[in-house]
Amino acid sequence: MINEFIITQTNPKTGFIDLGMGNPDLRLLPLDALRQSAEAYFASGDTRPLQYGAEQGDGYFRAALADCLSQAYRNSVNPKHLFVTSGASSALDLLCALYTHPGEVIFVEEPTYFLALRIFNDHGLKIIPISMDEHGLCLEELDELLAQYRPKFLYTIPTFQNPSGRTLTQARREELIARARRDNFFIVADEVYQLLPYSRTLPVPFAAFAQDVEQVISVNSFSKILAPGLRLGWIQAHEHIIERLAGSGFLDSGGGMNPFTSALVRELIESGGLEANIAHLRREYARRLKVMDAALRLHLPGAEYAIPQGGFFFWIHLPGVDTEKLRENAKQYKVDFRQGELFSSRRAMREYIRLSFAYYAPEEIEEGVKRLGACLRC
Ligand SMILES: Cc1ncc(COP(=O)(O)O)c(C=O)c1O
Section 208-233 average pLDDT? 98
Section 44-57 average pLDDT? 98
Q: What is the DSSP letter of 1?
A: -
Distance CA 263, CA 40 (A): 10
pLDDT of 1 over the 60 cut: no
- Cα 222 to ligand 1 centre (Å): 9
- Does any ligand 1 atom lie closer than 6 A to the CB of residue 221? yes
- Cα 220 to ligand 1 centre (Å): 8
Q: Which helix (H) or strand (E) holds 119?
A: helix 114-122
* CATH 3.90.1150.10 domain residues, the chain: 17-31+275-377
pLDDT of residue 200: 78
Nearest residue by C-alpha to atom 4 in ligand 1: 88
Residue type, 259: P
Distance CA 227, CA 24 (A): 8
- Does any ligand 1 atom lie closer than 6 A to the CB of residue 91? no
- Cα 232 to ligand 1 centre (Å): 11
- Does any ligand 1 atom lie closer than 6 A to the CB of residue 30? no
pLDDT per position as a tens digit, 121-145: 999 999 999 999 999 999 999 999 9
Residue 113 CA, closest ligand 1 atom number = 1
- Cα 284 to ligand 1 centre (Å): 20
pLDDT of 3 over the 80 cut: no
The pick from 23, 84, 113 for probing ligand 1's pocket by mutation, whose C-beta has the most ligand atoms within 8 angstroms, reads: 113
What Rg value do the Cα atoms of the chain yield, rounded?
A: 21
Section 52-65 average pLDDT? 98
- Cα 75 to ligand 1 centre (Å): 24
- Cα 28 to ligand 1 centre (Å): 17
- Does any ligand 1 atom lie closer than 6 A to the CB of residue 161? no
Q: At what angle do helices 88-99 and 114-122 cross, to 10 degrees?
A: 30
- Does any ligand 1 atom lie closer than 6 A to the CB of residue 18? no
Among candidates 82, 29, 90, which has minimal Cα distance to 58? 82
- Does any ligand 1 atom lie closer than 6 A to the CB of residue 277? no
* CATH 3.40.640.10 domain residues, the chain: 32-272
Residue 233 CA, closest ligand 1 atom number = 10
pLDDT per position as a tens digit, 260-275: 999 999 999 999 999 9
Nearest residue by C-alpha to atom 16 in ligand 1: 162
Half-sphere exposure of 296 (CA within 13 A, CB side): 24
Contact 336, 327 (CB under 8 A): yes
Is 3.30.420.270 the CATH classification of the domain at 32-272?
Answer: no
pLDDT of 2 over the 70 cut: no
Q: Which fold has domain 17-31+275-377?
A: Aspartate Aminotransferase, domain 1 (3.90.1150)
pLDDT per position as a tens digit, 244-297: 999 999 999 999 999 999 999 999 999 999 999 999 999 999 999 999 999 999
- Does any ligand 1 atom lie closer than 6 A to the CB of residue 235? no
- Does any ligand 1 atom lie closer than 6 A to the CB of residue 94? no
pLDDT per position as a tens digit, 85-117: 999 999 999 999 999 999 999 999 999 999 999
Contact 110, 131 (CB under 8 A): yes
pLDDT of residue 59: 98
- Does any ligand 1 atom lie closer than 6 A to the CB of residue 113? yes
- Cα 271 to ligand 1 centre (Å): 26
- Does any ligand 1 atom lie closer than 6 A to the CB of residue 88? yes
pLDDT per position as a tens digit, 155-214: 999 999 999 999 999 999 999 999 999 999 999 999 999 999 998 789 999 999 999 999
pLDDT per position as a tens digit, 323-367: 999 999 999 999 999 999 999 999 999 999 999 999 999 999 999
pLDDT of residue 218: 98
pLDDT of residue 4: 75
pLDDT of residue 262: 98
- Does any ligand 1 atom lie closer than 6 A to the CB of residue 192? yes
* 0.75 surpassed by pTM: yes
What are the DSSP E strand ranges found in the chain? 17-18, 82-85, 105-110, 126-133, 136-137, 153-156, 186-190, 216-221, 233-236, 313-317, 335-336, 338-339, 352-356
- Does any ligand 1 atom lie closer than 6 A to the CB of residue 180? no
- Cα 277 to ligand 1 centre (Å): 18
